[in-house]
Chain A
């Protein structure tokens, strides 16, 4: 796995490869089941969870409706506190801004707090091209980076790796990035953590520039918030002289008090903790304390376009807790890489096609990467109706329709390769609206049932590779009813005779 998402095969193909990787499936099943059980317990402890969830959703919706207003307030507050705000319309612009800011410091190395936004824009690769080395300091991100790998989970980017794989990566790679792994490193969690701590400590103490994202930005005070479990983030946020934070514009909340809701929803949903171990908050710069220069890069990259879609915009409520990944049966089998973006699982299936547009084959396949079982909606702490958005995006794929791209309304053409399906769906819908035709078709199917193959050609082959087909019964329900009850009852008039066993016994 090379460190880029470009050229990812479309979801069904990528997923087929990963379902065959039994080690991956075992790692994932173990990890997701453990965290989902813990989460359920942590959530059950609060009797006002339903109200908190509704409050979180309402707060996010209200903020999104007036996003321009809150972003301007945020900019004013950050500036007043001594920070500088930059606006980035897309990934390229954000990468250019950050590269320039790092260059201006004269440094060629930066330390990073784990951040989804910088993954989304491919910042590490852009910095590398400019001769700047970015060191990930989150333990799981470090594992991914050292392994020349890609993250496969929002919260636990290295969830697809087990302990012995991690030991091998540390032994092999740490030396070329800094302090090597200790001699005789085993796969005990304590030893692995200690090796990472020693390796990272050198980075923290020498770095002059830190790069972060943020979980929340408070418009009223200009405060940024990062929640984390390891404390690495706090080191990156306080030790360097310059701090650059790249944050999606949807992460703003109006007031300090709103954090009360989200700081309850987030840790319980993501790590099943009552409170996350480290909550770092910073407001601009303060003399003699923390970074002396602070830059906030506000990232759009498809978010305003997403906001223009009245059904799809609820995806922007997401607080990246990853609860939906941990309950998703499709994620569990397919693994995170199959989704071809830093946002895997159910949220990735609705966010990636919206942020990137749906013209690509991966993006067009993602809305179908779900059985619509609804488990993701049930756990989502901000009540994003992911199945609703999936179906909405499927409609975009097969029918096209009006969308907003780059701020302008355009009409999307239906995706290629759906012509046969569209014809079949229309034919079925026509038959269903013409019951007499439907009945003839069903009778024909019943008469020819001995001739039906057990394995199907074409798209049906996918079904019959692992499952047997049902046999068509000799008589449909409709015909049985007519034969035993007569036509009168079809209009809802009650027939005189009841059901006897002869009447119902002969339909196989």
Chain B
């Protein structure tokens, strides 16, 4: 099985430990992981802000970088959703604008093999108990793209429930958006902040030590709001929990 890690630009720059955790976790499960250096960004920030044309080279690049691999695994629900939900659409629009079928073909290769991490673990590797140990109270925030576009369902929860030592706390209003939304956070700061404040109030209310999600961009917003409010609740990516073992805390 040739598996490539698509680390995503945010993780590459701001959360390298998440990428390292994915590598450690997959290797522990006997998977060989490659990291094609030609990879960069899925194009989501540009696409969602309305700059579709700027995303086209990135679709091509994604295809080129991962062409040789059977699977592409990424620790980001929203980046996986970008590939799965929008790449074919970008291809179809380019073709409709008379620029050929190249992007449609690129999307056809990329889309079916791209998996968000928890999806890959549960659906492809068919594991729910990854042998992790994390002796903390944790609450889980299901991010919008993971929840509604990828349809991750209870996969992340099932994985967390098998983690030894972990106590999962129910998050009220879990399915409500945290208010990040990429450029939304900058273009509609008041509403974004109000949504973030409500999310953080619910998180703190659980009494958990950490809030976990499948996406560091949402955690960036939630975490930034938490620390600004002086809260000690830590944002932590699910990969870092799953990578932790009794022998080595992540």
Contacts and interface: CB of A to CB of B under 8 A. Distances in A.
B23 interface: yes
A443 B119 CA distance: 32
Contact of B186 (A422, A445, A459, A493): A459
B224 A394 contact: no
Interface in B172-225: 175-177, 179-197, 220-221, 223-225
A371 B53 contact: no
Nearest to A395: B50
B242 to A, nearest CB: 14
Interface stretch (A113-121, A228-236, A432-440): A432-440
Q: Is the interface of A mostly helix, strand, loop or mixed?
A: helix
Contacts of A397: 50
A388 B248 CA distance: 44
Given A16-B191, A433-B57, A504-B17, 15 more contacts: A11-B188, A12-B187, A333-B195, A374-B147, A429-B43, A438-B40, A465-B193, A466-B225, A466-B228, A468-B228, A473-B14, A478-B37, A490-B37, A492-B69, A507-B17
Contacts of A11: 188
B221 A395 contact: no
B68 A15 contact: no
B16 A12 contact: no
Contact of A477 (B16, B148, B180): B16
Contacts of B179: 329, 371
Closest 5 CB pairs of A and B: A371-B181, A394-B50, A467-B224, A462-B189, A373-B177
A468 B41 contact: no
A445 B13 contact: yes
A431 B54 CA distance: 11
A20 B20 CA distance: 42
A373 B148 contact: yes
B17 A372 contact: no
A421 B43 CA distance: 15
Given A371-B195, A373-B177, A429-B51, A463 B186 contact: yes
A425 interface: yes
A7 B166 CA distance: 54
A378 interface: yes
A462 B148 contact: no
Contacts of B185: 462-463
Interface in B17-52: 17, 19-20, 23-24, 27, 32, 34-41, 43, 45-52
Interface in B58-84: 58, 61, 68-69
Interface in A1-41: 11-12, 15-16, 19-20, 25
B188 A429 contact: no
Interface stretch (A193-201, A217-225, A275-283, A494-502): A494-502
A15 B14 contact: no
Contacts of A477: 7, 11-12, 16, 19-20
B16 A470 contact: no
Contacts of B188: 11-12, 15, 330, 368-369
Contacts of B12: 442, 476-478
A503 to B, nearest CB: 8
A367 B187 CA distance: 11
A428 B45 contact: yes
Contact of A508 (B13, B17, B148, B176): B17
Interface residues of A, number: 77
Interface residues of B, number: 78
B168 interface: no
Given A11-B188, A467-B221, A475 B51 contact: no
Contact of A334 (B7, B34, B191): B191
Contacts of A494: 32, 34
A371 B183 CA distance: 8
Nearest to A422: B51
Given A398-B50, A432-B9, A463-B186, A371 B16 contact: no
Contact of B16 (A329, A391, A480): A480
Contact of A425 (B14, B16, B49): B49
B29 to A, nearest CB: 12
A330 B148 contact: no
A371 B192 contact: yes
B222 to A, nearest CB: 9
A394 to B, nearest CB: 3
A470 B14 contact: yes
B40 A19 contact: no
A129 B179 CA distance: 43
A426 B189 contact: no
B9 A504 contact: no
Given A399-B53, A460-B186, A480-B16, A467 B225 contact: yes
A179 B41 CA distance: 66
Interface string A28-62: 00000000000000000000000000000000000
B50 to A, nearest CB: 3
A467 B193 contact: yes
A428 B13 CA distance: 13
B160 to A, nearest CB: 22
Count chain B CB atoms within 10 A of each CB in A378, A477, A493 and give the residue with the most. Answer: A477
